[in-house]
Structure 1
């Protein structure tokens, strides 16, 4: 029994999952319930908050918006978060570098704090790593009210070889700062979602942004070499 207790203690130190929390009769213990409600509040705040655009401006991202008008519509109409107006597409074409080797996009997604917490560290590592390898960088773009498929629209508009979207993940009950990177070779809305290679759980208690940035640069190198991404890219 003592051995089991030590095993459980070790497990609790190595995971954020709610294991071995005990119970009071048929219910959670008060401490567990309060922690659950507090974590749920963090998740809700992550969804309903906004990216600090002073960070975006500091990084010189070109800012655009999907067809979504507000947060409520963003939650209710995922389809609008995948589309741009014709005027926005023309604005992207007229103001951003065409035919880049690598097009970097940041999007708020379902967790704005994920962008606030991680975008600076990961962007600088990616930018410097990709420039050192001689790739032509596109104008970095920030998309407000973004869904993953916005990367396909931007790729098509700018004729990008590889498109990278850094986007806030749907928050769990432990953190609201987790970000994902979706990458695709010649991304297109005519291709399936399996075209995308993904690095997820990017934040300080998962894959730290600096480490993730280096990993993404390596994956981009492989995509350029193999001219493919997603399930077709054998890593």
Structure 2
């Protein structure tokens, strides 16, 4: 048996690498360059070909790898050393653990009376901007994006002369917690950074929800949203600049969500 000089041929390329999605697996495509251009415009699984009635092995392995990343994103906790280092005030919803968080989204929208009292006692009242960071459905998202977006936002708010409230981290949180905090502290603009529900393209995508005088008595449509924030979507530095710009608009127009015409 002839000895192989190039041992790299013996190894399968890491199927979880982002560039794997750029490979065209269609056998003998009529227009290879067109397929490549199309794949560069989206994270959708295009040009994967097939083996009879089934996925090709490489396609199936990539699907399983991405599914595993999505599951890990949901079940991974935020690195609270980062939260502590950045000086966030920490609270928790009625949810007691991650499993309950997944099964009971209603409890992830509510604080205990004791927690609400602590927020009112310890945090700044009537800020121009109230920042809330929540784990949501992806701990990876906050770990990957918080430091960069936070720095840009704080610089921008300082430049605008906004009074920024006590930054609050909410463990086991759904989006509606921003409304409860806004009501408790009388904030003008409340901004929530939260891990998005992961798909099969990334586990690091974060969303920003913003509302003027956010309230639990208002509809979901009160919120203005920036989504898909991560290295291969909207980079966190760019997203931070967008948040500052939108905050200025919300403060000027005194409205947000569908009522805001930009």
Q: Same fold (TM over 0.5)?
A: yes
Gap regions ≥5 residues in structure 2: 1-27
Q: Give the counterpart of 1:62 among 70, 77, 89.
A: 89
Tell me whether 1:87 sits opposite 2:114 in the alignment.
yes
- Mapping 1:89-168, distance limit 5 Å: 89-168=116-195
- Give distance in 2, aligned partners of 1:179 and 1:65: 20
Aligned length: 235
- Give distance in 2, aligned partners of 1:88 and 1:8: 54
- Give distance in 2, aligned partners of 1:172 and 1:33: 16
- Give distance in 2, aligned partners of 1:91 and 1:14: 47
Deviation sequence 1:170-194 (CA, Å, 0-9, x none): 0011210000000000000000000
Deviation sequence 1:82-141 (CA, Å, 0-9, x none): 000000001111111000000000000000110000000001100110111000000000
Which structure exhibits the higher relative contact order, with contacts defined as CA atoms closer than 8 Å and separated by 6 or more residues?
1
Deviation sequence 1:185-222 (CA, Å, 0-9, x none): 00000000000000000000000000000001000000
Q: Give the counterpart of 1:48 among 66, 75, 79.
A: 75
Greater radius of gyration (CA): 2
Match of 2:43 in 1: 16
- Give distance in 2, aligned partners of 1:225 and 1:3: 54
Match of 1:231 in 2: 258
Match of 1:183 in 2: 210
| Runs of at least 4 residues off by over 4 Å | none
Deviation sequence 1:43-87 (CA, Å, 0-9, x none): 000001100001001110100000001111101100000000000
Match of 2:20 in 1: none
- Give distance in 2, aligned partners of 1:210 and 1:231: 25
- Give distance in 1, aligned partners of 2:202 and 2:189: 29
Q: CA deviation at 1:5?
A: 2.3
How high is the TM-score relative to the length of structure 2? 0.88
Mark the CA change 1:20 to 1:2 in structure 2 (over 3 Å): closer, same or farther.
closer
Match of 2:58 in 1: 31
Match of 1:201 in 2: 228
- Give distance in 2, aligned partners of 1:73 and 1:7: 47
Helix, strand or coil for the counterpart of 1:220?
A: helix
For the aligned residue pairs, the C-alpha RMSD in angstroms reads 1.0
- Give distance in 1, aligned partners of 2:31 and 2:122: 62
How high is the TM-score relative to the length of structure 1? 0.98
- Give distance in 1, aligned partners of 2:230 and 2:165: 25
- Give distance in 2, aligned partners of 1:205 and 1:130: 26
- Give distance in 1, aligned partners of 2:92 and 2:82: 17
